[in-house]
Amino acid sequence: MENMRKEVIRLQSQIGDLMDNPRHPAAIRLNNEIQALEDDLQTSRNKASIGSRIQGIISILDGEAKRAEIMDHHHLDMFENKFEDLRNRSRNL
């Protein structure tokens, strides 16, 4: 779980660096959910909770964040794929 937590921290930093509109409500919500995921991983929540949290992040990236154009769509797609990979890996925690 610690490796996944570190990866989430890196992704959060990358997202922050690429965000065009960090004060938009969608960006704030995305950051809050990623921080909550990092907290869940730090406290070793069960894998179903972690998977659900990641799915929520994917939903934000695929919907609200794209509509709000908080960053380039190619970057959003890249992060969506990275979180999908994390979700798949979370099943094996």
Q: pLDDT for 8-65, tens place per residue?
A: 999 999 999 999 999 999 999 999 999 999 999 999 888 899 999 999 999 999 999 9
Query: Which value, in Å, is the radius of gyration of the alpha carbons in the chain?
Result: 12
pLDDT of 93 over the 90 cut: no
Total domains in the fold of the chain: 1
21 within some domain: no
Q: Which two tokens stand for residue 32?
A: 């809050």
Cβ(18)–Cβ(86) below 8 Å: no
Residue 60 lies inside a defined structural domain of this protein: yes
What predicted TM-score, i.e. pTM, was given to this entire model? 0.93
Q: Are 49 and 90 in contact (CB under 8 A)?
A: no
Does residue 73 lie within any of the structural domains? Answer: yes
Q: For residue 54, give its domain range.
A: 2-9+26-90
Look at residue 74 and tell me if it is in a domain.
yes
